[in-house]
């Protein structure tokens, strides 16, 4: 069985400060890991994807995540938050590519001026 745990339901940062959204996963197989972002009234958008290549994955909009097998973590980071980053972020795990995605409960990122 697979699962993901997003450790924070809400994260608040000031514009221009670093962002850290935490995710731990559990998987019996070599997992694929994803981060998706959900803006209000918009579909989920893929930020980045890890599939057993480089452990540091760079995504869109300046986000990146590091796969740490020893810690079973896949935290999402960004050096400097922008107001437009305010959204809901989902950590996702799968052992079968896109076929059976298992979503975390989401982290709402709030960015203040």
Partner 1 sequence: GAVVSQHPSRVICKSGTSVKIECRSLDFQATTMFWYRQFPKKSLMLMATSNEGSKATYEQGVEKDKFLINHASLTLSTLTVTSAHPEDSSFYICSVLGFATNEKLFFGSGTQLSVL
- Half-sphere exposure at residue 97, Cβ-oriented, CA atoms within 13 angstroms: 1
Q: Is 95 in the site for partner 1 (CB under 8 A)?
A: no
Q: Name the token pair of 16.
A: 């221009």
Task: Choose among 3, 35, 31: nearest CA to 21.
Answer: 35
Question: Exactly one of 24, 44, 66, 77 binds partner 1 (CB under 8 A); which one?
Answer: 44
Q: How far is the CB of 44 from partner 1 (least distance, A)?
A: 4
Is 105 a binding residue for partner 1 by CB under 8 A? The answer is: yes
Q: Indicate whether 10 belongs to the interface with partner 1 (CB under 8 A).
A: no
Site for partner 1, residues 73 to 92, rule: CB under 8 A: 90
Rank residues 44 and 86 by Cβ distance to partner 1 and give the closer one: 44
Structure tokens that stand for 71 in this block: 């810690």
Binding to partner 1 in span 23-42, by CB under 8 A: 36, 41-42
Do 35 and 94 contact (CB within 8 A), yes or no? no
CB burial readout 12-44, b (16+ within 10 A) else e: ebeeeeebebbbbbebeeebbbbbbbeeeeeeb
Nearer of residues 43 and 113 to partner 1, judged by Cβ: 43
Contacting residues toward partner 1, per CB under 8 A: 9, 36, 41-46, 90, 97-106
């Amino acid at each position: 069985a697979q699962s993901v745990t997003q450790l924070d339901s809400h994260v608040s940062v000031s514009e221009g400060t670093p962002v850290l959204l935490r995710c731990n996963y559990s998987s019996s197989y070599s997992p694929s890991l994803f981060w998706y972002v959900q803006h209000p009234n918009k579909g989920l958008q893929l930020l980045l994807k890890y599939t057993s290549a480089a452990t540091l994955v760079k995504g869109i909009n300046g986000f990146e995540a590091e796969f740490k097998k020893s810690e079973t973590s896949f935290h999402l980071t960004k050096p400097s938050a922008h107001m437009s980053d305010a959204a809901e972020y989902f950590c996702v795990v799968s052992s079968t590519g896109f076929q059976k995605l298992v979503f975390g409960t989401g982290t709402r990122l709030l960015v203040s001026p």
